[in-house]
Structures are given as structure tokens and as C-alpha cells.
Amino acid sequence: MLAAGQAVAYEDMVTQPTGLHGSVGLGVGIKPEYAGAKDSETRLRPAVSLFYGDTLFLTGMMAGAHLFRHRTSQGLAISAGPLLALRGGRKESDSAALAGLGDINRSLDAGGFVRLRMGGWQARADVRKSVSNGGGTTVNLSAGRGWRVVEKLHLRASIDATWASSDHMNTYYGVDAVQSANSGLRQYQADAGFKSVGMNIMADRAISREWAGFASLRYMRLVGDAADSPIVADVGSRNQVTATVGIKYRF
């Protein structure tokens, strides 16, 4: 859910030449108990998107800066820069299916991004490497389009795919000998490769100049070695659905 929310804010950044601007809000949503779970949980989630000028941004659990900018003669806007982000962890207590697998701590990720934008179309790629808990490296690719349906209603649809290193895959989807003995799941070692594909639909509905409602629906399917993991294939699900609705204050 946080990933989807970050994508909305990151791609819909309202550029202003100076000053702090953005939105803060609160949403309620359903999401899988863990990445690959078959059961869902309901939680309240903050929705934070802050920007300083048209360079610095803080969206959800991701911060970065647009340090390179270029616009081609055809009108294609290109920007790139560094990223810092917090990657979510996992606790045994999150789901009965995780009993015996141990906890995975949150990690600090460092990396960078490239964004392409023309009209309502956007595409981006970002690379993130864990620098705190050995959670490996991920590469996310996405493309989408936004449009105004009516005066106060804005929609965006996008598709995405994520590649992960073997360290990342085994941290989140592998089962070693000790975990197998404690959990009863078969041992499993995952290789690097694409771990998921997904699609998002997001909506913003203006209530007043400062207030707006928002909603998002995301479907993700785990693929490759992530989908074949016993954490997913035996006690979970390859199909992951997240939905959120909330309200935010814009400034």
C-alpha cells in the first residue's frame, strides 16, 4: 500500500519554483499480511507527500532529489537523481503462515531514479540497494498515464514490474534449513529475477481548494522464484490486492 501511495505522489509532483508544498492525509486500507500472503489486514496509514521547490521530495517512506533535468526538442522531459528509502520488514506475528521463519528487520535503501515525462504519459526506473540488513537490490520499472475525467476528478493508471537480486529474493522468499525445521515448510533457495508484475488505478477528487479525497486499487502478481517459494505457493498466494481510501490536506 505504501508503495502504491508513493508512486502516486512521486509521479504527480506539482512543481513550484520555490517553497515547501505538498499534502498530508490519512487513509484506511486493506493489504496482504505480508508480501505473498493469502489473507489481508485492515490498517490506518498516513499519506505524506512533501516537496521543496521542484527538486526535493519526501513521499511516504522515500526521499530524493531531481538533480538532473533535460527537455528534448520533441517535448520529452527527463529527470534523474538519488533516492533514500525505508524498505518494509516482516514479523512472524504478522501471519500464522510465518511461524518459525523469524523476523526481517526494516532496511535503509540507497539508490537512484530516472523519470521520463511527455504530456500525460510517464515512465520511470529506480534502483534501490539495501545498506543496512543485506536485503539485496531491486529494480522497479513502471509506465502510466494520467487524465482529468471531470473538473475535480483526476485518474491515473499504471503498470509496473520489479526485478530483485538473489540476496533480496532469499531474504523475503527463501527458506533455509533452520527455518524449514522450525516452520515445517520445505527448504527453498531463490535466484535473482523478476519477482512481480502489477497494475494500479488511482483517483484524486477535489473537495475544496485545500482538501481532497483519494483512493487507489493495486493488483500485483508474484512471478518467478518468488511465486514458487513455499511461503507463497504452499501457504500464501501469488495474487496480491491492495486498496486504500482516505482524505488529505493540500498546501
* 220 neighbors 25 (Cβ within 8 angstroms): no
Distances (CA, A) of 55 to 21, 48, 128, 236: 12, 17, 19, 40
193: left (phi over 0), alpha (psi -120 to 50) or beta: left
Number of domains in the chain: 1
pLDDT attached to residue 60: 87
pLDDT attached to residue 238: 98
DSSP E strand stretches across 66-136: 68-71, 77-87, 107-118, 121-130
pLDDT attached to residue 134: 74
- Its domain, for residue 147, covers 2-250
Strand 68-71 and strand 77-87: the pairing is: antiparallel
pLDDT attached to residue 179: 97
Query: What pTM does this model have?
Result: 0.89
Kindly report the CATH number assigned to the domain that includes residue 114: 2.40.160.40
* 6 neighbors 231 (Cβ within 8 angstroms): no
pLDDT beneath 50: ranges in the chain: 1-14
pLDDT digit string, tens, across residues 181-226: 999 999 999 999 999 999 999 999 999 999 999 999 999 999 999 9
Strand 68-71 and strand 137-150: the pairing is: unpaired
